[in-house]
Amino acid sequence: MEKFFNNAGPTIPADHYHIDPLTRINWEDILQLIAQKRYFLLHAPRQTGKTSTLLAMMHALNAQGQFACAYANIEGAQTARNDVERGVDAVCSSISSHIDTYLPGTELGKWYYSSGRDVSSNDRLRVLLQHWTTAASKPTILFLDEVDALVGDTLISLLRQIRAGYAQRPESFPQSLILCGVRDIQDYRIHSSNQEIITGGSAFNIKAESLRMGNFSPEECRTLLLQHTEATGQSFQEAIFPLLWEDTEGQPWLVNALAYELTWRIKALRDRSIPITVEHYMQAREELIQSRATHLDQLVDKLKEERVHRVISAILSGEEEPSFRGADLDYVYDLGLIQKKPSVRIANRIYMETIPRELTWAKQVGIANQDTGWYVAADGSLNMPKLLRAFQQFFRMNAESWDQRFDYREAGPQLLLQAFLQRIINGGGRIHREYALGRRRTDLLIEWPTTEKAYFGAVQRIVIETKILRKSLESTIEEGVNQTKAYGQKAGAEDLHLIIFDRSDRPWEEKIAERMIDNVGIWLC
């Protein structure tokens, strides 16, 4: 069977094109931590390859013959929440089952169900790991996956029982134990059944290190795709590789999902004699975004969390002095939603596209009587003055109701604009978005093909800068015009527009206006 790009679950090397997981971590450092009998964390955003890496590490350690190493996923205990009896039983059942699977002949499950369950839940996990270790002929190592999926007293009990057995390693407790999840343990905020808040750091103060897995590098993205070319002979147009990097910044699930769209979901390309072009890539990109795949759906669901809301809202609105805490920033970074260097921004171009689309989806599909053809001139270009006058009216009609019922009110004007443009530009063009903390603006670049060759023919490039009126109108216009011209020069665009949102209580008749300054269209809303 032909290999394929993996967009669901752990990587199976025999089935999937893949990058060796052990090259994505500092394997030498991890071996040293294990030799030093350390307990530590490995964390990374969802669908980054954590499970595949843990399994590869386990197989590599067992192949060396020095240790008895096992992996266990304990996510199933999440539903127990503060029910320690049920939660610890689920954790112990999973661990004993996984150990029996990966280390045949151990028969830990048999012991657990005949004797282990009689131990108090407050000590059962410690006794289980002690029994496994003392019966083993080699020092034991355990990888626990999805630890931060656990909730409340169950998680507190797990962390404290591991801490209680720590002093007995390696003779009577695992020599090394790795906890794996999305977040660093210092970010755990555990609510016990009596509403006490306990931090992960205090419940598990034996942690030696916290290692974070990164994304693919540009070279790894290229290597991954070229495995398909080597196996099938089907080539990728060279221009795809920089686009893939800019869109994903190496996020492993996104890279694999786009490659899967290209090599399987676009049925015509199942014919391996057909080269894969940029046209195909842009089609796959749009279909992936519109598919609302599980990964993207989980991403959007996080936007409802208060801590995520504070950070993402500040980015979308370009807040100059954000009100969130540094811990909020670290949390959203650990979720994979943002990058922190060289500046705080949304993690990649696909997330930049997905987040505003999802936040405005209900409004976007509800926009009536907005046919793209209304705004296309005879030469195939977009008539931007006509389009932006229509937006001014749309904004006037919708801004108040949006403010009253929308979660992301701070970024409401910018998101309403993007909802309006998305509905129209989707008829044949594309929108690129740039926003980051402290910039006090949102940069939009519209690329509108004016010929049938959508990605290689003539393209109209339109820059739209948005600003919130926070000081005098004239100074805002002066600053905004300079910013718009600078972005237009960077983007190679000559059709330049600045939209200024006035969120004061002044009458709409006074707020709605348009003018032209220095070849920049000024639109007041």
pLDDT computed for residue 454 by the predictor = 56
Three-state DSSP state, 211: strand
| Angle ∠(98,30,340) on CA atoms, nearest 5 | 105
Per-position b or e across 487-496, b if 16+ CB within 10 A of its CB: bbeebebebb
pLDDT computed for residue 11 by the predictor = 92
pLDDT computed for residue 206 by the predictor = 58
Structure tokens at 198: 């306990």
- CATH architecture of the domain 20-212 equals 3-Layer(aba) Sandwich (3.40)
Which residues are CB-neighbours of 378 under 8 A, at least 6 positions away? none
- In the chain, what are the domain boundaries? 20-212, 218-291, 357-524
In the block, tokens 């994979």 appear at: 336
| Angle ∠(151,156,161) on CA atoms, nearest 5 | 135
Three-state DSSP state, 184: coil
Q: DSSP secondary-structure letter at 49?
A: S
Tens digit of each residue's pLDDT, the chain (525 residues): 899 999 988 999 999 999 999 999 999 999 999 999 999 888 888 889 999 999 999 999 999 999 999 999 999 998 888 899 999 999 999 999 999 999 999 999 999 999 999 999 999 999 999 999 999 999 999 999 998 888 778 888 998 999 999 999 999 999 999 999 877 765 555 444 454 544 444 445 655 577 888 899 999 999 999 999 999 999 999 999 999 999 999 999 999 999 999 999 999 999 999 999 999 999 999 899 888 777 777 777 888 888 898 899 888 887 767 777 888 888 899 889 999 888 889 999 999 988 888 887 766 666 665 678 888 998 889 999 999 999 999 899 888 877 666 678 778 888 889 888 888 887 678 888 887 676 667 789 999 988 765 555 688 999 999 998 888 999 999 999 999 999 999 989 989 999 999 988 889 998 999 999 999 999 999
What gap in Å lies between CA 19 and CA 15, rounded to an integer? 13
Q: What is the pTM of this model?
A: 0.87
pLDDT computed for residue 203 by the predictor = 46
What gap in Å lies between CA 465 and CA 182, rounded to an integer? 35
Cβ proximity of 94 and 74 under 8 Å: yes
Cβ proximity of 56 and 22 under 8 Å: yes
Q: Strands (DSSP E) along 200-294, which ranges?
A: 207-212
CA dihedral 187, 191, 195, 198 (to 10 degrees): -50
Do β-strands 338-339 and 345-346 pair in parallel, antiparallel, or remain unpaired?
antiparallel
What gap in Å lies between CA 67 and CA 334, rounded to an integer? 31
pLDDT computed for residue 202 by the predictor = 46
What gap in Å lies between CA 172 and CA 135, rounded to an integer? 9
Do β-strands 207-212 and 197-199 pair in parallel, antiparallel, or remain unpaired?
unpaired
Do β-strands 345-346 and 430-434 pair in parallel, antiparallel, or remain unpaired?
unpaired
Do β-strands 140-145 and 495-501 pair in parallel, antiparallel, or remain unpaired?
unpaired
Cβ proximity of 429 and 446 under 8 Å: yes
